[in-house]
Amino acid sequence: MATAAALDFEKPIAELEQRIDDLKRLAGDASYGVALEIEPLEKRLTELRREIYKQLTPLQRVEVARFKLRPFTQDYLDRIFTDFIELHGDRAFREDAAIVGGWARLEGETVMVIGHQRGRDTKDNLKRNFAMPHPEGYRKALRLMKLAEKFHVPVLTFIDTPGAWPGLGAEERGQSEAIARNIFEMSQLGVPIIATVIGEGGSGGALALGVADRVLMLENAVYSVISVEGCAAILWKDNKSIESKERAAKALRITAPDLVELRVIDEIVPEPEGGAHTNHDLAAATLKSTLIRLLDDLRGLRPEKLVRRRREKFLRMGQYIG
């Protein structure tokens, strides 16, 4: 299946996909003739995907992480969980659709799922505010986490945001406080928490859902203290050119393997060959089995032990001399 849109560096893949599609269409019902022709092409396609994705640059990873065809929180919700019932609102100001959350079942067991939600088209993005939450989004998330704690239910978060919204209303209503409060409360929540960076992990806006017993990243996700554009603008006064963004992406060490090395995340969840966007079902299946396995490890732990270990995990982070 040819994708309607492809990332720049995926052009060779898209072209090959197009050729295979054309051949199939030409053959119509008489597919017996072209099967022999198509087979080597499809093999070549798999190889091409592997080759290109094996040597992605950090900036290309950022593009994959932000790609509009990549699975978003709702796509994982549909594929990993059953019986999802969305809960809305922070009970103080309003509903913020940049974060979705609610009860769901993982293999029949109730969990609380909370995640940033991107939009796929302009209309959807306006509703979701490009997955950049206001304080009320974070406060809704916190409300749901406390609800989960009340009923002894694990919390699974999906991180996928460029960052918290920098706007007038957000500042007036305490964006800083909302993020700070979530980070604080997550470090004492008495139920298991697993956080997965599924796309872009943008700074404090990501961390507000990211203080967890296990922190995972999808293979092509990124997690950073500042956007590559922001960093490039500060360092080289140039947030437009590919070269400058590429340098920033490299310098910031934002890819999943980087974060394993820096001991910030626990595990990398592999993506289908050619990125999660090529096969939502497979990406979700892999993530699902990982979540089930990790949750099994955490379920037996007493709340005090869980909290103590979670705090110790974050208290260890950082590198210094002395």
Partner 1 sequence: MAWFRKERKPRQPRREKLEIPRDTWVKCEACGHTDIRDSFERNLNVCPNCDYHRRVRASDYLSILLDEDTIDETETELRSTDPLNFPDYPARLKKSITNAGDQDAVITATGRLAGMPLNVGAMDFAFMGGSMGSVVGEKLSRLGQHSLEKKFPLVIISASGGARMQEGVLSLMQMAKVSAMLSMLAERRIPYISVLTNPTTGGVSASYAMLGDAIIAEPGAVIGFAGPRVIKSTIGQDLPDGFQTAEFLLEHGMLDAVVHRHELKATVGRLLRHMTGKPAATGWSAA
| By CB under 8 A, residue 289 contacts partner 1 | no
The whole-angstrom separation of Cα 21 and Cα 15 is 10
| By CB under 8 A, residue 73 contacts partner 1 | no
Closest distance between partner 1 and the C-beta of residue 313, in Å? Answer: 9
| By CB under 8 A, residue 260 contacts partner 1 | no
Nearer Cβ to partner 1, position 74 or 187?
A: 187
Nearer Cβ to partner 1, position 20 or 248?
A: 248
| By CB under 8 A, residue 320 contacts partner 1 | yes
Q: Which residue has the tokens 């406080």?
A: 177
| By CB under 8 A, residue 126 contacts partner 1 | no
Contact with partner 1 (CB under 8 A) among 35, 92, 126, 262 = 262
Residues 206-245 that bind partner 1 (CB under 8 A): 207-208, 210-211, 223-226, 231, 234-235
**Class of residue 59 by CB neighbours under 10 A (exposed 0-12, middle 13-18, buried 19+):** buried
Give phi and psi for 91, each to the nearest 5.
Answer: 65, 10
The whole-angstrom separation of Cα 204 and Cα 184 is 13
| By CB under 8 A, residue 18 contacts partner 1 | no
The whole-angstrom separation of Cα 310 and Cα 188 is 8
| By CB under 8 A, residue 322 contacts partner 1 | yes
Closest distance between partner 1 and the C-beta of residue 145, in Å? Answer: 14
**Which one of 18-26, 94-102, 202-210, 287-295 is the stretch in contact with partner 1 (CB under 8 A)?**
202-210
User: DSSP secondary structure string, 9-75?
Assistant: GGHHHHHHHHHHHHHHHHHTT-TTTTHHHHHHHHHHHHHHHHHHHHT--HHHHHHHHH-TTS--HHH
| By CB under 8 A, residue 302 contacts partner 1 | no
Contact with partner 1 (CB under 8 A) among 4, 30, 36, 321 = 321
| By CB under 8 A, residue 172 contacts partner 1 | yes
| By CB under 8 A, residue 314 contacts partner 1 | yes
Contact with partner 1 (CB under 8 A) among 14, 34, 69, 183 = 183
Dihedral Cα 166, 169, 170, 171, nearest 10 deg: 80
Nearer Cβ to partner 1, position 224 or 278?
A: 224
Tell me the residue type at 20. Answer: I
Q: State the DSSP H helix or E strand holding residue 223, giving kind and residue range, or none if neither.
A: strand 222-224
CA 132 to chain centre: 13
With a CB cutoff of 8 Å and minimum separation 6, the contacts of 265 are: 197, 215, 216, 217, 223, 256, 259
The whole-angstrom separation of Cα 128 and Cα 292 is 29
| By CB under 8 A, residue 168 contacts partner 1 | yes
Give phi and psi for 226, each to the nearest 5.
Answer: -155, 150
Residue 209: name the closest of 308, 284, 131, 92 by CA. 131
Nearer Cβ to partner 1, position 106 or 132?
A: 132
Nearer Cβ to partner 1, position 203 or 278?
A: 203
| By CB under 8 A, residue 285 contacts partner 1 | no
Nearer Cβ to partner 1, position 7 or 298?
A: 298
- Residues forming contacts to partner 1 in the complex (CB under 8 A) are 164-168, 170-177, 179-181, 183-185, 187-188, 203-204, 207-208, 210-211, 223-226, 231, 234-235, 247, 251-254, 259, 262, 264, 310-311, 314-315, 317-322
